[in-house]
Amino acid sequence: MEVIGRRITDLWFTECQTENMKLDLRISNILLNKDTEYQHIVVADTEEYGRIMVLDGAIQITERDEFCYHEMMAHVAMCSHPEPSRVLIVGGGDGGILREVVKYDILDTVTLVDIDKEVIQASRDFFPGVSCGLDHPKAEILPMDAMEFIINHENQFDVIIVDSTDPVDFAAGLFQSSFYSDVFKSLKNQGLLVAQTESPFAESRLMKQAYLEMKKTFKDVYLCWGAMPTYPTGMWTYTIGGKNLNPKTSLRTPPTGLKYYSEAIHKHCFTLPAFLQEIIEQYNA
């Protein structure tokens, strides 16, 4: 690893989380700061959250809290599908979700499709604890656009997890009904689609959009939520499309050693605070 900066005493990374809200993190070292073919990537060490990866100014992972997100994105689906043997991860180039998925003996293969191979490489170089699953024998890593990949893979997957950057530019299509209908076709007869759907406080418009777009394809759509401190407002939602399957019931014991997800969390994460329930009920009206 080439250290670019000296120890810096008063440098801050600022994420503009909305046009009126910022998050500042004190930086102790900048390890990577470059344009890839698709986005700008920064890897830096922070005093509060350890090492962080930033894409186009938005925090993707931090060493300190990534488990909150990656465990929710992986285990709600992996524990509620009767036989999650073939899994697709859209985006997720840091490898955090893949690290969680390969913990299941029932898994046959997990395919990770991220458009930007330099994100995958940066995670290998700077986040060994997150990218450790990328070389698992059951893992297939494909650096390509997931919207192209999905159309040639009908009836192939039990679980599809969409861990993309925010819905702008080359990621925008991953939040639209046309993509969700390709996902539906790519799922086997019983399948689950899991998507990160932003914060009900900072981006409720995006959360609503994803839910309504998914509803156009999946008869049953479920919303669950959890804590994710370094994402805008720290309250994060996960929207799950069920193809002949209800994700609310956990069917198996999760792997040991998890730090966020548990059977109790599974049971309660679908219980929405009244304000969130109200929003969802508007969509189901």
Which residue's CB is nearer to ligand SAM, number 74 or number 245?
Answer: 74
Which of residues 143 and 255 has its CB atom nearest to ligand SAM in the complex?
A: 143
**Integer CA distances (angstroms), 208 to 132, 199, 256, 258, in order:** 34, 10, 34, 30
Q: Which stretch binds ligand SAM (CB under 6 A): 26-34, 91-99, 124-132, 252-260?
A: 91-99
Distance of CA 284 to the CA centre of its chain: 25
Assign 183 to helix, strand or coil: helix
Please pick, from the candidates 84, 92, 191, 200, the single residue that binds ligand SAM as defined by CB under 6 A: 92
DSSP-assigned beta bridge partners for residue 41? 34, 55
Asked if residue 145 binds ligand SAM (CB under 6 A), the reply is yes
Contacts to ligand SAM from residues 152-191, by CB under 6 A: 163-165, 170-171, 174
Residue type, 194: V
Closest CA to 183 of 143, 223, 210: 210
Strands (E), 114-203: 139-142, 157-163, 187-196
Q: Does 118 bind ligand SAM (CB under 6 A)?
A: no
- Choose which of 23, 74, 107, 147 interacts with ligand SAM (CB under 6 A): 147
Select the span of 19-27, 90-98, 99-107, 219-227 touching ligand SAM (CB under 6 A): 90-98
Q: Is 24 a catalytic residue?
A: no
* Burial degree of 255 (CB within 10 A; 0-12, 13-18, 19+): middle
196 near ligand SAM, judged by CB under 6 A: yes
Q: Among residues 45, 37, 60, which one has the least CA distance to residue 13?
A: 45
CA distances from 97 to 61, 63, 103, 267 (A): 11, 14, 10, 20
CB of 138 to ligand SAM, least distance (A): 20
For position 100 contacting ligand SAM by CB under 6 A, the verdict is no
CA neighbor of 68 nearest in space, from 265, 264, 250: 265
Instruction: Check 94, 145, 163, 182 and give the catalytic one.
Output: 163
Nearest residue to ligand SAM, using CB?
91
Residue for token pair 């997150």: 130
Among 101, 112, 119, 224, binds ligand SAM (CB under 6 A): 119
Tokens 């109790």, residue located: 264
Give min distance, CB of 136 to ligand SAM, in A: 18
Residues in contact with ligand SAM by CB under 6 A are 38, 55, 60, 69, 90-94, 113-116, 119, 145-147, 163-165, 170-171, 174, 196
By annotation, the residues acting in catalysis are 163
